[in-house]
Amino acid sequence: MRLAWPLLVLITLLLSASDAAAQRRSQGGGLLSGPIEFGLRGGRDFENHAWTAGGQVRLPIKQNLELRPSGDFLFPEDAGTGWQLNADAAIRFGSGAVYGGGGLAWLHPDGGDTDRGYNLFFGVASPSVRYEPFLEFRWTFINDTSPFRLMLGFSLPL
């Protein structure tokens, strides 16, 4: 319950971010080719029967290339809460609505050791004026398993 208030404040601040401020940040030179975006997401791991909730950051490096660090809490039906951290990169195709990518994954189930593996994913995003909703299909390959996870979320420019 203690986490609810800071999370509510963070969501309120993100939803009230100005489009003009994001545009000003994206016009400068440097490493990034656009504004940094933060997103919240949730989903379902169908193999492990677990719900997930987490967040991601989108760092546009080139016109169609993004770095996407992310993390999720895992809530399996028959075990305690675990977590997964990801160091992913994505490529946007065409107009940017379709993307795909992959990267490294660190999975820590409740009470277990942290395992390393990799992710593969693809998704569809729908850019809008203030936020970008997305639907993502994700596989994490760890210890000879590759559970499928369906993710739904949104990103906002910071």
Domains parsed from the chain with CATH numbers = 4-157 (2.40.160.20)
Q: Residue range 83-96: average pLDDT? A: 92
> Rounded CA gap, 39 and 37, in Å?
7
Tokens of 137: 């299909």
Q: What angle do CA 74, 149, 48 make, to 5 degrees?
A: 55
Q: Which sign, positive or negative, has the C-alpha torsion 141, 143, 148, 154?
A: negative
Model pLDDT for residues 10-63, shown as the tens digit of each residue? 444 444 443 433 443 444 457 888 889 999 999 999 988 999 999 999 999 988
Which DSSP state fits 16?
Answer: T
Predicted pLDDT at 29 = 56
Q: What is the pLDDT at residue 129?
A: 64
Residue 89, C-beta contacts closer than 8 angstroms, at least 6 positions apart: 65, 66, 67, 68, 101, 102, 103
Query: Could you tell me if 93 and 100 are in contact, meaning their C-beta atoms sit under 8 angstroms apart?
Result: yes
User: Which pLDDT value is given to residue 20?
Assistant: 37
Segment 142-150 mean pLDDT: 89
Q: How confident is the model at residue 158 (pLDDT cuts 50, 70, 90)?
A: confident
pLDDT at 130: 77
At 96-145, the pLDDT tens digits run: 789 999 999 999 988 789 999 999 999 999 876 678 899 999 999 998 88
